[in-house]
Amino acid sequence: MSSTDDIIRGIGEGSIRAIARALSMVENGSADSVEVLDKVFSLQSGFSIGVTGPPGAGKSTLVSRMISRYRSQENTVGVIAVDPSSPFTGGALLGDRIRMQSHASDPGVFIRSMGSRGHLGGLSGATRDASLVLSAAGYSPVIIETVGVGQAEVEVADLADITLLVLVPGLGDDVQSMKAGIMEIGDIIILNKADRNGIDQLESYVRASLELMPPGIRKPEVVRVSAVNGDGLENLWKAIDRLAAIHSDEQRKSRSAIKTLNEILKENGLLFAERLLETQYNGREAAEELILSGTLSPYAIGKKLLETAEGMLKHNGSK
Amino acid sequence: MNRKIRVLIGKPGLDGHDRGAKYIARALRDAGMEVIYTGIRQTPEAIADAAIQEDVDFVGISLLSGAHNHLFPEVARILTEKGASDIILFGGGVIPEEDISGLKKAGYAAIFTPGAPASEVVDFINLQMENRQ
């Protein structure tokens, strides 16, 4: 099981152990993970749903409802549930499974908990690659639950094919819904805990805020639900189905491929820059020392690195 | 590489007293580990399945009801059956002294009884990880 080839084969065959190992590899950023991702990239199919919203909004409970819904249609469902890691110790308490207990022994459901591991934006750095692994193993939809987010953690919208923003009554006044950021990313805005006081007010705030959206941007649907007792879920499923029908698998795949390339470019850029720092300044620490001592500004170092890269390209005669 | 020690803390059976489990989960978190807590009243099967999906290094089972001689070995058996005998098991709760050797034979590397400080569990895990490498 430990060999990379076994893991690649196992993902194609839907082996739980192999999938779990592959997820650890991408999470740990192990050297072999790139080979695994490269080999399984073409296997991905289906679509992904991102679920985001403030802490305690009912995201995990909604995800559990969603799992039941797709299981009743004979789909196998993958879930990536991200919870925050401590910025001090790096530890994390991952508790999203508690709300998904009813699916614990269902072989058609794969749930993976991930710590954010210092990554900001509501996800972990490996969420995109983890989602690819589950998709390649045949799970569809792959549901991605973010950490409980504040106002600006909008990354999930970039990753998932459909983004659900879960809001609940009692989190603030109408100025909150006028702010930029999180309010703009939902394909569907779910008003959860509809049995609670303040739900009418919340809906009027949200709708008023959407009225003011600039023309040309597709307005999200607003759906009231109570995830705990099941009210309104049928309307939510219909709204999700409408969105899922807009794009074909092929279109989703192309979009995901381009986004993935963007991520890889960023990562590679960082890796390459670190290598250049080593050759030009004896590494990052030494470069930092030059900045702190007032010898060079960070911009001067950045400029030098780019010039060095340019020089190397010319030397190699590349285009 | 950005490897973290991953531990699943589970409570099988009908016992709903999860203070000890949560206390240990919190202590392991503060020791820099990723702790998956699955909540109370899990079947041994559900705990084993979760452990495999989460690809954890350790599974810690807590039980205060007295059914440990049945439920603890059951988790070990299912993990082995599913090819995950490399996951290290430990247990805790109200476990009489005379039951401990039987549970160790069933595959538990350590059993922690009431009064054991959380640091003992942290040390146990760190030592096991060192031995593994």
Size of interface A-B (CB pairs under 8 A): 96
Distance separating alpha carbons of residues A113 and A93, to the nearest angstrom: 10
Which of B 64-83 lie inside 8 A of A, CB atoms? 82-83
User: Residue A135, Cβ neighbours under 10 Å: how many?
Assistant: 24
List the single best residue of B3, B35, B36 to mutate versus A (max A Cβ within 10 A): B36
User: Are A299 and A275 spatial neighbours (Cβ–Cβ below 8 Å)?
Assistant: no
* Number of helical H runs and strand E runs in chain A: 12, 8
- Minimum Cα–Cα distance from A112: chain B residue: B54
How far, rounded to the nearest angstrom, does the alpha carbon of residue B67 sit from its chain's CA centroid? 15
Domains of chain B: 6-132 (3.40.50.280)
Least confident of A166-175, B46-55, B107-116: A166-175
* Residue B35 in contact with partner chain A when CB distance is under 8 A: yes
Using a CB-CB cut-off of 8 Å, the residues of chain B touching A23 are 55
Which chain A positions have a beta carbon within 8 Å of B126's beta carbon? none
DSSP, collapsed to helix, strand or coil, labels residue B76 as helix
Task: Please give the pLDDT value at position A151.
Answer: 62
Contact B53 A16 (CB under 8 A): yes
Q: Give the Cα separation of A22 and A150 in Å (integer).
A: 31
* Its pTM surpasses 0.90: no
Better-predicted residue by pLDDT, B67 or A74? A74
Considering only the beta carbons, identify the residue of B39, B41, B53 that sits closest to A111.
B53
Q: Please name the residue of chain A whose CA is at the shortest distance from the CA of residue B35.
A: A93
Per DSSP, A42 falls in state G
Question: Closest Cα partner for A103 from B93, B78, B42?
Answer: B42
Residue A219: the pLDDT is 85
| CB nearest to B4's CB, from A21, A112, A115 | A115
Q: Cα distance from A260 to chain B (closest Cα, Å)?
A: 20
Residue A179 is predicted with a pLDDT of 61
| Distance separating alpha carbons of residues A238 and A162, to the nearest angstrom | 13
| ipTM for the predicted complex | 0.89
Q: Is the model's pLDDT at B17 over the cut of 90?
A: no
pLDDT of residue A2: 61
Q: So what's the pLDDT on residue A38?
A: 94
The answer on pLDDT for B69 being more than 80 is yes
B102 has pLDDT over 70: yes
Interface test with B, best of A105, A110, A139 (most B CBs within 10 A): A105
Residue of B nearest to A105 (CA): B46
Instruction: Please indicate whether, in this complex, the C-beta atoms of B36 and A86 are within 8 angstroms of each other.
Output: no
Interface test with B, best of A15, A86, A110, A113 (most B CBs within 10 A): A113
In this complex, is the C-beta atom of B4 within 8 Å of any C-beta atom belonging to chain A? yes
Give the mean model confidence (pLDDT) for residues B30-56. Answer: 94
Contact B84/A at CB under 8 A: yes
Q: Are A236 and A188 in contact (CB under 8 A)?
A: yes
The verdict on a CB contact (< 8 Å) between B54 and A92 is no
Chain B closest-CA separation from residue A207 CA (Å) = 37
Q: CB–CB of A17 and B25 under 8 A?
A: no
pLDDT at A173: 60
List the pLDDT tens digit at each of the 319 positions of chain A: 468 999 999 999 999 999 999 999 999 988 899 999 999 999 988 999 999 988 889 999 999 999 999 999 999 999 999 998 888 898 999 988 888 888 988 999 999 999 988 777 778 879 999 999 999 999 999 999 998 876 667 788 888 999 999 999 887 665 565 565 677 778 999 999 999 999 998 898 888 888 887 888 788 999 999 999 999 999 999 999 999 998 888 888 888 899 899 888 988 898 899 999 999 999 999 999 999 999 999 999 999 999 999 998 888 865 5
Q: Write down the pLDDT at residue A174.
A: 56
| Short-list B55, B29, B38, CA closest to A96 | B38
pLDDT of residue A104: 84
- Write down all domains in chain A, each with its CATH number in brackets: 1-43 (no CATH), 44-246 (3.40.50.300), 258-315 (no CATH)
